[in-house]
Amino acid sequence: TQLRLRLTLPASAATPRAMKLEVSPRQRTQEAEQNEGLEAWKHPKQLCASLGYGEEEEEEVTRMVPPLNFGMVDDGVFRSGFPDAANFRFLASLNLRSVVYLCPEPYPEQNARFLGRSGIKLHHFGIQGRKEPFVGIPEEMIREALKVILDVRNHPVLIHCKRGKHRTGCVVGCLRKLQKWRLSSVFDEYLHFAAAKARKTDQRFMELFDTSSLVHLLASQC
């Protein structure tokens, strides 16, 4: 499978393995229910009325605007900063099945309503957003998030934190290591999204992250 990204990467980046699983009858039923919810977003004015949105919220929803720092990671895997109402119609167009949310705060009610109406499952991993030098990235929580992302039954999936830079960048960077990317290419992608806010501690974490306990999950989906 040819990897697709919104940014240009060095030729040295390795091509990730395909992630495929058989679709069960139960999953087909879930897909049908999700499609029914997503169909409603083709008629945003009626949907806004059913959700009790006011004129200002309705105006935001009817536009097609991607979230902050949005990008494609792989087939069926996306990343971004925190979406708001202005992004809902765009997200609906992705036919998302899951959202991996990396902040500790409860999911906003408006966003939760959008997920529920669209049949999207929320996977919440509460990683604290800390600045250097007081940084403690919970490795086990990163592993659990990756298990969700690696399971194609959760695709299409959106990974997001607050700005789509540090927590999201670390998760994606660890995924790239699992996909056998060169470390220089992992860092290039991280820096593309983090820009001036890049943290050496994030890069150190990705460099030292041990993928051995997750390799079997990737192999089982090839």
Looking at the annotation, which residues are catalytic?
Answer: 161
Structural contact between residues 99 and 119, judged by C-beta atoms closer than 8 angstroms: no
Phi, psi of 203 (to 5 degrees): -65, -40
Cβ atoms of 108 and 187 within 8 Å: the answer is no
Burial letters for 72-84: b for 16+ Cβ neighbours within 10 Å, e otherwise? Answer: bbbbbbbbbbbbb
Q: Which of 179, 216, 176, 173 is nearest to 193 (CA)?
A: 173
Helix (H, G, I), strand (E, B) or coil at 98: strand
How far is it, in rounded angstroms, from Cα 140 to Cα 135? 15
What are the DSSP E strand ranges found in the chain?
A: 71-74, 77-80, 98-101, 121-124, 157-160
CA 161 to CA 146: how far, in whole Å?
14
Distance from chain centroid for Cα 97: 11
Q: What is the dihedral of CA 43, 45, 51, 54, to 10 degrees?
A: 160
